Amino acid sequence: MKHIRYIFLLVFCTSSIAYSQCDTIKAIYKGESYQKQLEIKYPGYAIEHEISGVVEYKFYIDSNGCLDSLFIINSPHEILSEEVKRAISTLKCNWTPHNSWIFDKFDFVYQ
């Protein structure tokens, strides 16, 4: 049986700081780390075709604690990008207000 492993790395940046100069922090959604609440599923097409890799993305949390924008920075395949976008987009509001960008990545590992 194949195993699926997910890896998260979270980085927080203000829009004026370069990606390489960001500080690691927790993005809080409804009182806990948002990764615990994400329901990311390994897409069937990706499993069938053994597609894996890291999807890097960023999203903006406004001063009201709402998800404002979501962008894929880098991805090995569009099917993995779409799953990350779908999962994060379900977490609309109830974030701890940041008024800044959150950079993160999700590792789809097919073993």
* Per-residue tens of pLDDT for the chain, all 111 residues: 444 544 444 444 444 333 333 443 456 777 777 877 888 899 999 999 999 999 999 999 999 999 999 999 999 999 999 999 999 999 888 888 888 898 999 999 987
Number of neighbouring beta carbons within 10 Å of residue 2: 9
Whole-structure pTM value: 0.73
Phi/psi of residue 74, nearest 5 degrees: -155, 140
Cα angle: 63, vertex 13, 88; to 5 degrees:
65
Bridge-partner residues for 61, per DSSP? 67, 100
Residue 71 CA neighbour count, 13 Å, CB half: 8
Residues 99 and 61 sit within 8 Å (Cβ to Cβ): yes
